[in-house]
Structure 1
Amino acid sequence: MESPKIILTGGGTAGHVSLNQAIIPPLKEKGYDVHYIGSKDGIEKNLIRDSFPGLPYHEIQSGKLRRYFSMKNFTDPFKVGAGVLQAYKQIKKLKPALIFSKGGFVSVPVILAGRMAGVPVVIHESDVTPGLANKLAMPFADHVFTVFPETVPHVKKASATCSGPVIRPELFDGSKKEGLRLAGLSGKRPVLLVMGGSQGSAVLNEAVRSGLPQLLRSMDVIHLCGKGHLDRTLDGTEGYAQFEYVTGGLKDLLKAADGVVSRAGSNSIFEFLALRLPMLLIPLSAEKSRGDQILNARLFAKSGFAEVLEEENVTRETFLDAVGSMTENAQRMILSMEKAEPPKTPEEMAALILKCSKGE
């Protein structure tokens, strides 16, 4: 008997792929033949192929959806149209029991094609308010899973459930000893981990480096500064370790950390919450984003999980003050985190998704 098929989609950023990466193993264990539809040049292609070399990956065209004026706004709709036709062809050929989308621009044509083909479509939204791609796609979905309960009222024309966050199990397997070894630190002082994402954050990098002499008086610093943003003049600075980006060893660096400074993307902050890691969040400003990170950060601050410093207020002095406040309130944050509802496992999330498939 042929295995039932399921199509996953989502891309553009690592956050639009990570949940799919987490649920692929349990879906395969349940006997599903998993296929991925993504763009030709998006980050999702390399992430999926590197993690699951034998998994079928189908390329489609995808235009970017912009909230600002660009000449490409006149041409990209044609790419979306072409992507819908390409996705529809694959869906009719594969005859999947379900399509699951994590969002991002490439998911829109897949969801539209899924509705045209009569295949159940399920969407996952990580942020408090839906991103533009998911906002456009939700009317064509059968069900939407959200991380925040505050997101459910934003879902129109589809049923919605707050399923909570899903955390990769391997994050809990980190080794403090290995993390300290990777960073070349002794472990005799508290460790501050600063993360600005794979592309880095100029604001975070400047704040950390300008305040480094003061920080190093009382703590060691591990700085993930983003690709191309190493400062070689700081090489050899005692108590300071800088990396462009870390993947495999991130769980060990997180285990070695006593506190973290980060942007406020949903996936990351729920990982810090699950690891009971005190955090200082510096969300992307409304000028640089649709404001989703600001809402994420404020909800975490309201719950007692984080300190927040708005990007437009970052100076060397305010940054040092905020790090000091996070350090002083670390135990209070940890106590609040211990009361939080535990995250879903990938197996639990996969089971919820499959309940929406044909025949379930």
Structure 2
Amino acid sequence: MKKRTILLTGGGTAGHVSLNQALIPELLKMDFNVEYIGSKDGIESELIPDSFPEVPYHPISSGKLRRYFSVKNFTDPFRVGVGLLQAMQVIRKTKPAAIFSKGGFVSVPVAMAGKLLSIPVIIHESDVTPGLANRIAMPFANHIFTVFTETLKHVPKEKSTCTGSVIRSELMDGSAAKGREICHFENDLPVLMVMGGSQGSAMINDAIRTNLSELQKQYNVIHLCGKGNIDESLVDLPNYCQFEYVTHELSHLLHMTDFVVSRAGSNSIFEFLALKKPMLLIPLSRQKSRGDQLLNARLFLQQGFAHVVEEEELTPERFLAEMQKLHMDEDLLIENMTRAEPPKTAYEMAKLVAAHTKKN
């Protein structure tokens, strides 16, 4: 019998790719062919081919749907139109049993094309409220999976299911010893991991580097500072290891980590929760986003999983004070996280996706 194909899409940020990265190995084990539609120059165009060279990658044109005035707002609809035609061409060629969309602007023409060609479209929404791309794509979807139960108030209930979070299996298999080898830490100080997202955060980077001499006295610091943000003058400092971005090393680094400072993207914070890492969340403000990270962070604060400080309130002094509070509340935060609902595995999520595929 000929293998059935599942077509994955999603991109623009690591958060729109990481679940797909987790699903691909499980879908392959379930004897599906897996192919991927992404943008020509988004982060997915590097992550997917590098991690899964056996998965065909189809780049298409994609526009950006902006909430602010830009001349490109007049040209990007044409790029979306081109992307729609390209997506239809890929779908006709691959004849998928389903399309699984993780969101991001590249996913919009793919979902539209799937609907036009009568292919089941499955959407996954990680945040409390759906992003703009997913909101546009939802009318074309056959089913929508959400991470937060609160999200069900913002999506069509008759075709939506809350699955909870999904954690990559390899994330649970990291080695603290390998993490120490990667970072060359030579003492037993607690480890602080700082993550500003795949593109980095200038505000978080500045808060860390301004306080670095003080932080080095208390922690070994792992600093994921974003592409192009390595500070060469700090490369040889003790107790400080900086990376632009990590992929395969992340599980090892997280297993050696005691405390996390991070933005509040849904995928990341649920990974910290699964590994029971006390976290200080600094969500993107409404001035820089649609406010989804603020909602994610507030829910984690309410459940006692995290401390939160909004970036408008962050100063070097406030940052050190918040780290001291995090240290003091370490045991309480871990106790609260221990009572959280366990995440789904990638295999369990892959089974849910497979259940919505078109039968031969």
Normalised by the shorter chain, which TM-score bucket?
A: over 0.9
Q: Does 1:216 align with 2:216?
A: yes
Matched-pair contact (CA < 8 Å) for 1:263–1:293: yes
Q: Distance in 1 between matches of 2:96 and 2:238?
A: 55
Q: Could you tell which deviates more after superposition, 204-213 or 343-352? A: 204-213
The one-letter code sitting in structure 2 at the alignment partner of 1:267 is N
Q: Does 1:292 align with 2:292?
A: yes
TM-fit CA distance, 1:196 = 1.4
Q: Does 1:39 align with 2:25?
A: no
Q: Distance in 2 between matches of 1:235 and 1:118?
A: 54
The one-letter code sitting in structure 2 at the alignment partner of 1:76 is D
Q: Could you tell which deviates more after superposition, 313-322 or 17-26? A: 17-26
User: 1:327 maps to which residue?
Assistant: 327
Q: Which structure 2 residue ranges, 5 or more long, are not aligned?
A: none
Residues 352 and 92 from structure 1, CA distance in 2 versus in 1: closer, same or farther, beyond 3 angstroms?
Answer: same
User: 1:281 maps to which residue?
Assistant: 281
Q: Could you tell which deviates more after superposition, 309-318 or 187-196? A: 187-196
Q: Distance in 1 between matches of 2:236 and 2:37?
A: 45
Q: Distance in 1 between matches of 2:85 and 2:148?
A: 33
User: 2:356 maps to which residue?
Assistant: 356
Matched-pair contact (CA < 8 Å) for 2:13–2:198: no
User: 2:79 maps to which residue?
Assistant: 79
SS at match of 2:353: helix
TM-fit CA distance, 1:278 = 0.5
Matched-pair contact (CA < 8 Å) for 1:138–1:158: no
TM-fit CA distance, 1:145 = 0.2
Q: Does 1:247 align with 2:247?
A: yes
The one-letter code sitting in structure 1 at the alignment partner of 2:56 is P
The one-letter code sitting in structure 2 at the alignment partner of 1:316 is P
TM-fit CA distance, 1:359 = 3.0
SS at match of 1:23: helix
User: 1:9 maps to which residue?
Assistant: 9
SS at match of 2:103: coil
Q: Which structure 1 residue ranges, 5 or more long, are not aligned?
A: none
- In the TM superposition, structure 1's runs of 4+ consecutive aligned residues that sit over 6 Å from their partners are none
Residues 280 and 78 from structure 1, CA distance in 2 versus in 1: closer, same or farther, beyond 3 angstroms?
Answer: same
Pairing of 1:53-202 with structure 2 (within 5 A)? 53-156=53-156, 159-202=159-202
TM-fit CA distance, 1:15 = 1.2
SS at match of 1:217: helix
Matched-pair contact (CA < 8 Å) for 1:139–1:157: no
User: 1:230 maps to which residue?
Assistant: 230
Paired residue total: 360
Q: Deviations over 1:11-67 (max 9, x none)?
A: 111111111111111111212111211222222122111111121222221111111
SS at match of 2:161: strand
TM-fit CA distance, 1:5 = 1.5
The one-letter code sitting in structure 2 at the alignment partner of 1:324 is Q
SS at match of 2:167: coil
Q: Does 1:20 align with 2:20?
A: yes
User: 1:313 maps to which residue?
Assistant: 313
Q: Distance in 1 between matches of 2:34 and 2:199?
A: 30
TM-fit CA distance, 1:268 = 0.7
Matched-pair contact (CA < 8 Å) for 2:98–2:120: yes
Q: Distance in 2 between matches of 1:238 and 1:26?
A: 40
SS at match of 1:119: coil
TM-fit CA distance, 1:290 = 0.7
SS at match of 2:104: coil
Residues 55 and 218 from structure 1, CA distance in 2 versus in 1: closer, same or farther, beyond 3 angstroms?
Answer: closer
Q: Distance in 2 between matches of 1:189 and 1:144?
A: 44
The one-letter code sitting in structure 1 at the alignment partner of 2:287 is E
Matched-pair contact (CA < 8 Å) for 1:142–1:158: no
Residues 80 and 157 from structure 1, CA distance in 2 versus in 1: closer, same or farther, beyond 3 angstroms?
Answer: farther
The one-letter code sitting in structure 1 at the alignment partner of 2:302 is K
Q: Distance in 2 between matches of 1:217 and 1:97?
A: 56
Q: Distance in 2 between matches of 1:93 and 1:25?
A: 22
TM-fit CA distance, 1:158 = 5.6
TM-fit CA distance, 1:157 = 7.4
User: 1:342 maps to which residue?
Assistant: 342
Q: Could you tell which deviates more after superposition, 350-359 or 287-296? A: 350-359
Residues 310 and 96 from structure 1, CA distance in 2 versus in 1: closer, same or farther, beyond 3 angstroms?
Answer: same
Q: Distance in 2 between matches of 1:252 and 1:127?
A: 26
SS at match of 2:344: coil
SS at match of 1:216: helix
User: 1:265 maps to which residue?
Assistant: 265
Q: Deviations over 1:176-205 (max 9, x none)?
A: 122122222234221111111232211111
SS at match of 1:123: strand
Residues 143 and 274 from structure 1, CA distance in 2 versus in 1: closer, same or farther, beyond 3 angstroms?
Answer: same
Q: Distance in 2 between matches of 1:243 and 1:86?
A: 36
SS at match of 1:103: coil
TM-fit CA distance, 1:358 = 1.7
User: Percentage identity across aligned positions?
Assistant: 61
